[in-house]
Chains A and B, each alone.
Chain A
Amino acid sequence: MSTQTINLTLKVWRQNGPDDKGRLDTYHAKNISKDMSFLEMLDVVNEGLSKKNQDPIAFDSDCREGICGMCGAMVNGHAHGPESETTLCQLHMRHFKDGDTLYIEPFRARAFKIIKDLVIDRSAFDQIIQAGGFISVNTGGAPDANATPVSLEKSSLAMDAAACIGCGACVASCPNASAMLFVSAKVSHLALLPQGQPEATRRSLNMICEMDHLGFGNCSNERECEAACPKGISIQNIARLNREFIKSSLFSTPSV
């Protein structure tokens, strides 16, 4: 591993609460090791600010392994930065050059309110799942796990869709701020498995209604979501969702 360092200029969105107007402030990140992750770079900047008794830049993170979906910001207009299939916490500074200027802004969408600086409220995603992103079984009474075989192909596709980390990059990248990739990933994951079949139609209808209700936009096939997704969730899931949705609008009404 190299120990090279670089210097960067950061233009960071600072906003003190949802009602504040917000602004871009400039910071100089000096002697940044190329082995650092992007968030470690922000940690270093924040240590400097704290020592000067200034308010550190607020940003969310937890696992720092690219799996919890807690981190995320727009870096030079790209959700989670320029590398494909990489969360912000897994983006390393070796992908930047000495002297670069980086614009760092929160994920923006009508349904995601800004809490502070880069920290946003994504509880709308939880509400969409509550509308139907589950299989209605209570604990106890499940049949033996091997009672129903599932083809390798279907279970792999289900796993591909289930890999979504709920970070919101898809919404932030979509010109319509649509949550279709998120919703379709969950609908696909469950609809592909025999266990999820009984509720498949209701589920897709209810989740889409909730998505609309929460102020997410419509999907107009821009494909930006797929390009931004750190987990490589495919827009084929959206096609699958559309099929489920057509079935559901033919056969049922949403239960709210």
Chain B
Amino acid sequence: MQLNAHIPSGPLSEKWDKHRFELKLVNPANKRKYEIIVVGTGLAGSSAAASLAELGYHVKIFCIQDSPRRAHSIAAQGGINAAKNYPNDGDSIKRLFYDTIKGGDFRAREANVYRLSQISNNIIDHCVALGVPFAREYGGLLANRSFGGAQVSRTFYARGQTGQQLLLGAYSALSRQIALGNVEMFTRREMMDLVLINDHARGIIVRNLVTGELERHGAHSVVLATGGYGNVFFLSTNAMNSNVSASWRSYLKGACFANPSFTQIHPTCIPVHGTYQSKLTLMSESLRNDGRVWVPKEPGDKRAFQDIPESERHYYLEAKYPSFGNLVPRDVASRNAKEQCDAGRGVGETGYAVYLDFRDAIARDGKNTIEKKYGNLFQMYERITGENPYESPMKIYPAVHYTMGGLWVDYNLMSTIPGLFVLGEANFSDHGANRLGASALMQGLADGFFVIPYTIGNYLNGHSQPNIDTSHSAFKDAEHETGERINRLIAIDGKRTVDDFHKALGNIMWEYCGMARNEAGLETALDKLPELREEFWENLKVPGDPASFNQSLERAIRVADFMELGELMLHDALDREESCGCHLREEYQTDENEALRNDDEYCYVSVWEHQDDENLQLHKEPLVFENVQLSQRSYK
């Protein structure tokens, strides 16, 4: 297989324009003859479905939840970036581009990231037109704030509910198209397999989660917008239903998986407090704008925070990174928290937490100002922990948050399977080895509103498009194979529950493929994981009736795929003998414990191709930087 990213030639700033001109158009009268399947109703899926339907395509869209409005995007708190430069503080398309490339530690494609920055401004315009109630200034214009690692204020937000408001905007556009009959909505459906006919993506098999029935759906093209796979770690900030199955099944059918081990660990989450815990809660990192991170200077100091005098507090981020201080990028902040806790300076019952303290900000700006900025976050913290952050510092610890890895796509967002497009967090495209805050929402909407409507036409017009026939043997086989897989899970009839296995998998992944990785650990995990998977297939218990609403079965199907994905992540982390962004290989660090890249040997995207159960093939997409100078990231 030959990888071709289809990056247009010409100067960076003209590539997208040039490409749009060169893309084939579909005649308006022909558009309604084309059926497009969109899987997922998050920002990427909803915006794609709405925009494609507005153009005249016939769209079928699917989601797991009972309503498209509930997709995981709804939970994003902090904001969305754009290069508007409204605050006049020196931002530009080029600066957003540069910050994103640098933040990703030079492991993303220049052309994609530049396009993302260009489109960012259209997104804000469109969302305002859709009625998204972004925060405003007294004069009635839009407010901006600076967000995790940015030195300009380019983040637009809607209180602490930016994801909710953006998703409701995209959902409203989708709803309008549903009402017009241009989109058919299928809720409580889970994609179980991708169907290929003559090597092109032509449909999907879904399980109706209410009745347990398998259904066949055909189309001329399939768009996956199924989100990230952070739940491979069991505990993450992702929603309970987030999973990898749609991507994984496509991978098994020939879509390559890129940088699977690139996982972002978010620095400001509420620490784990019990084995019963079902998920981790993120506290928006906008909190780091005013909160100061500290631990006691003395390892093992178990005094209450009030008893630790100022001189015995270690503000380690401010000390180590004087110019960025508490606003260093996520990977840097997370790693430093782990380092402090590993050195015995962690606080709280488990010793795996650091303080995020608002005392000084409250003294400086007054409680009212702080409440106005963060009131709902403080409330949320208090609700969960029973502690009041106006009076005592928050305790935070890093948690799995976002997966930069995902299905490989070219500049058109098409995977290595013709006709299969991948958008949003599910693809690998724009964030390299580390995503900057407030740029996932931007990417999801860029992909859905402003990229796929152009690029999909080029595919549809460029290949012959047969009539879709779901009685084709490819559909029959895929449906049969799915049914067999479900029967096998039920037939195990063992003793351990699916959550029990999922937690065990999460422990392996967190221990060996989490915030820091090393060769020996990854090798150990590569022994442990297959053993666990073997036990899963021998000792799993799925209660209830498979031919009905069965949430244990839903989880079992997902965990079976996570077990396989986990192994690919380990291989990927092992192969990359450098550190970059979130991927810290302990063997490769600078003297100051920062990620040490090896640009001579690893300046590529790792693109994994599934061959058969025994064999994996690694392809390398070289990353070429013509517009930025590769440098050691420094936030000092």
Instruction: Give chain A's interface residues, CB within 8 Å of chain B.
Output: 1-3, 16-17, 33, 35-37, 39-40, 43-44, 47, 49-51, 53-56, 58, 60-70, 86, 90, 92, 94, 115-116, 119, 121-123, 125-126, 129-131, 133-140, 142-146, 148-152, 155, 158-159, 162-163, 165-166, 189-190, 193, 195-196
Beyond contacts A17-B548, A43-B278: 8 other A-B pairs, Cβ-Cβ < 8 A, are A44-B276, A68-B65, A68-B239, A134-B175, A139-B173, A142-B128, A145-B124, A146-B84
Q: Do B279 and A64 touch across chains, with their CB atoms under 8 A apart? A: yes
What is the distance, in angstroms, from A231's C-beta to the closest C-beta of chain B?
10
In the complex, the chain A residue whose C-beta lies closest to that of B159 is A159
**How far is it, in angstroms, between the C-alpha of A63 and the C-alpha of B70 when the chains are bound?**
8
Name the 3 nearest CB pairs between A and B, nearest first: A149-B140, A134-B172, A142-B129
**How far is it, in angstroms, between the C-alpha of A137 and the C-alpha of B348 when the chains are bound?**
51
Decide yes or no: A62 and B239 within 8 Å by CB, A56-B552, A94-B386, A162-B168 being known contacts.
yes
Instruction: Return chain B residues, CB-CB under 8 Å to A162.
Output: 133, 158, 165, 168
Instruction: Return chain B residues, CB-CB under 8 Å to A92.
Output: 383-384, 386
B450 interface residue per 8 A CB criterion: yes
Q: Do A139 and B161 touch across chains, with their CB atoms under 8 A apart? A: no
Q: Do A39 and B273 touch across chains, with their CB atoms under 8 A apart? A: no
Q: Do B75 and A63 touch across chains, with their CB atoms under 8 A apart? A: yes
B141 interface residue per 8 A CB criterion: yes
Q: Do B67 and A125 touch across chains, with their CB atoms under 8 A apart? A: yes
What is the distance, in angstroms, from A188's C-beta to the closest C-beta of chain B?
11
Q: Do A122 and B67 touch across chains, with their CB atoms under 8 A apart? A: yes
What is the distance, in angstroms, from A132's C-beta to the closest C-beta of chain B?
8
Q: Do B140 and A139 touch across chains, with their CB atoms under 8 A apart? A: no
B50 interface residue per 8 A CB criterion: yes
Q: Do A53 and B543 touch across chains, with their CB atoms under 8 A apart? A: yes
Instruction: Return chain A residues, CB-CB under 8 Å to B69.
Output: 69, 126, 166
User: Could you mark each residue 380-399 of chain B with 1 if its beta carbon is under 8 Å from any beta carbon of chain A, else 0?
Assistant: 10011111000000000000
What is the distance, in angstroms, from B189's C-beta to the closest C-beta of chain A?
13
Q: Residue among B128, B387, B499, B543 with the most chain A CB within 10 A?
A: B128
User: Could you mark each residue 176-198 of chain B with 1 if its beta carbon is under 8 Å from any beta carbon of chain A, else 0?
Assistant: 10110000010100000000000
In the complex, the chain B residue whose C-beta lies closest to that of A35 is B273
B558 interface residue per 8 A CB criterion: no
Decide yes or no: A49 and B129 within 8 Å by CB, A56-B552, A131-B179, A139-B50 being known contacts.
no
Instruction: Return chain B residues, CB-CB under 8 Å to A143.
Output: 125, 129
Decide yes or no: A139 and B138 within 8 Å by CB, A86-B383, A123-B66 being known contacts.
no
Q: Do A67 and B161 touch across chains, with their CB atoms under 8 A apart? A: yes
**How far is it, in angstroms, between the C-alpha of A1 and the C-alpha of B130 when the chains are bound?**
43
Q: Do A189 and B176 touch across chains, with their CB atoms under 8 A apart? A: no
B546 interface residue per 8 A CB criterion: no
What is the distance, in angstroms, from B547's C-beta to the closest C-beta of chain A?
12
What is the distance, in angstroms, from B554's C-beta to the closest C-beta of chain A?
11
**How far is it, in angstroms, between the C-alpha of A163 and the C-alpha of B533 when the chains are bound?**
42
Instruction: Return chain B residues, CB-CB under 8 Å to A43.
Output: 276, 278, 499
Interchain residue pairs with CB less than 8 A apart (18): A17-B549, A36-B276, A40-B276, A47-B500, A51-B541, A53-B541, A55-B544, A116-B548, A126-B68, A126-B175, A129-B171, A142-B125, A145-B125, A146-B84, A150-B136, A155-B140, A162-B133, A193-B133
User: In the complex, which of the residues A70, A90, A159 contacts B158, with contact meaning CB atoms closer than 8 Å?
Assistant: A159
B531 interface residue per 8 A CB criterion: no
Q: Do B450 and A62 touch across chains, with their CB atoms under 8 A apart? A: no
**How far is it, in angstroms, between the C-alpha of A39 and the C-alpha of B499 when the chains are bound?**
14
- The interface size bin for chain B is 35 or more
B131 interface residue per 8 A CB criterion: yes
Instruction: Return chain A residues, CB-CB under 8 Å to B343.
Output: none
B274 interface residue per 8 A CB criterion: yes
**How far is it, in angstroms, between the C-alpha of A136 and the C-alpha of B129 when the chains are bound?**
9
Instruction: Return chain B residues, CB-CB under 8 Å to A116.
Output: 548-549
Instruction: Return chain B residues, CB-CB under 8 Å to A129.
Output: 171-172, 175
**How far is it, in angstroms, between the C-alpha of A162 and the C-alpha of B168 when the chains are bound?**
9
B126 interface residue per 8 A CB criterion: yes
In the complex, the chain A residue whose C-beta lies closest to that of B73 is A68
Number of A-B residue pairs with CB-CB distance less than 8 Å in the complex they form: 222
Decide yes or no: A70 and B131 within 8 Å by CB, A43-B278, A43-B499 being known contacts.
no
B616 interface residue per 8 A CB criterion: no
B591 interface residue per 8 A CB criterion: no
In the complex, the chain A residue whose C-beta lies closest to that of B51 is A139
User: In the complex, which of the residues A50, A62, A66 contacts B70, with contact meaning CB atoms closer than 8 Å?
Assistant: A62
Instruction: Return chain B residues, CB-CB under 8 Å to A158.
Output: 131, 133
What is the distance, in angstroms, from B305's C-beta to the closest C-beta of chain A?
14
**How far is it, in angstroms, between the C-alpha of A56 and the C-alpha of B126 when the chains are bound?**
44
Within 8 A of A (CB), among B112-128: 122, 124-128
**How far is it, in angstroms, between the C-alpha of A144 and the C-alpha of B82 when the chains are bound?**
13
User: In the complex, which of the residues B164, B274, B495 contacts A67, with contact meaning CB atoms closer than 8 Å?
Assistant: B164
User: In the complex, which of the residues B135, B179, B210 contacts A130, with contact meaning CB atoms closer than 8 Å?
Assistant: B179
In the complex, the chain A residue whose C-beta lies closest to that of B282 is A65
In the complex, the chain B residue whose C-beta lies closest to that of A31 is B276
**How far is it, in angstroms, between the C-alpha of A251 and the C-alpha of B576 when the chains are bound?**
67
Q: Do A145 and B84 touch across chains, with their CB atoms under 8 A apart? A: yes
Q: Do B72 and A62 touch across chains, with their CB atoms under 8 A apart? A: yes
Instruction: Return chain A residues, CB-CB under 8 Å to B163.
Output: 67
What is the distance, in angstroms, from B545's C-beta to the closest C-beta of chain A?
8
In the complex, the chain A residue whose C-beta lies closest to that of B448 is A139
In the complex, the chain A residue whose C-beta lies closest to that of B47 is A139
In the complex, the chain B residue whose C-beta lies closest to that of A41 is B276
Decide yes or no: A152 and B140 within 8 Å by CB, A44-B276, A64-B279, A134-B176 being known contacts.
yes
Instruction: Return chain B residues, CB-CB under 8 Å to A17.
Output: 548-549
Q: Do B65 and A62 touch across chains, with their CB atoms under 8 A apart? A: yes
In the complex, the chain B residue whose C-beta lies closest to that of A138 is B54
Q: Do B185 and A126 touch across chains, with their CB atoms under 8 A apart? A: yes
Q: Do B543 and A152 touch across chains, with their CB atoms under 8 A apart? A: no
**How far is it, in angstroms, between the C-alpha of A92 and the C-alpha of B141 when the chains are bound?**
39
**How far is it, in angstroms, between the C-alpha of A60 and the C-alpha of B552 when the chains are bound?**
12
Q: Do B126 and A139 touch across chains, with their CB atoms under 8 A apart? A: yes
In the complex, the chain B residue whose C-beta lies closest to that of A160 is B133
Q: Do B70 and A69 touch across chains, with their CB atoms under 8 A apart? A: yes
In the complex, the chain A residue whose C-beta lies closest to that of B129 is A142
Q: Residue among A2, A44, A149 with the most chain B CB within 10 A?
A: A149
**How far is it, in angstroms, between the C-alpha of A196 and the C-alpha of B70 when the chains are bound?**
23
User: In the complex, which of the residues A50, A66, A131, A151 contacts B543, with contact meaning CB atoms closer than 8 Å?
Assistant: A50
**How far is it, in angstroms, between the C-alpha of A55 and the C-alpha of B134 when the chains are bound?**
45
**How far is it, in angstroms, between the C-alpha of A156 and the C-alpha of B68 when the chains are bound?**
25
Q: Do A134 and B159 touch across chains, with their CB atoms under 8 A apart? A: no
Instruction: Return chain A residues, CB-CB under 8 Å to B544.
Output: 55-56
Q: Do B125 and A90 touch across chains, with their CB atoms under 8 A apart? A: no
User: Could you mark each residue 25-65 of chain B with 1 if its beta carbon is under 8 Å from any beta carbon of chain A, else 0?
Assistant: 00000000000000000000001001100100000000001
What is the distance, in angstroms, from B242's C-beta to the closest C-beta of chain A?
8
Q: Do B70 and A70 touch across chains, with their CB atoms under 8 A apart? A: yes
Q: Do B380 and A66 touch across chains, with their CB atoms under 8 A apart? A: yes
Q: Do B380 and A65 touch across chains, with their CB atoms under 8 A apart? A: yes
Q: Do B133 and A115 touch across chains, with their CB atoms under 8 A apart? A: no
Q: Do A136 and B176 touch across chains, with their CB atoms under 8 A apart? A: yes
Q: Residue among B69, B135, B142, B545 with the most chain A CB within 10 A?
A: B69
Instruction: Return chain B residues, CB-CB under 8 Å to A166.
Output: 67, 69
Q: Do B136 and A152 touch across chains, with their CB atoms under 8 A apart? A: yes
User: In the complex, which of the residues B66, B172, B178, B500 contacts A121, with contact meaning CB atoms closer than 8 Å?
Assistant: B66
Instruction: Return chain A residues, CB-CB under 8 Å to B129.
Output: 135, 137, 142-143, 195
Instruction: Return chain B residues, CB-CB under 8 Å to A33.
Output: 274, 276
Within 8 A of A (CB), among B449-501: 449-450, 453, 495, 497, 499-500
Instruction: Return chain A residues, CB-CB under 8 Å to B548.
Output: 16-17, 116
User: In the complex, which of the residues A2, A40, A90, A130 contacts B277, with contact meaning CB atoms closer than 8 Å?
Assistant: A40
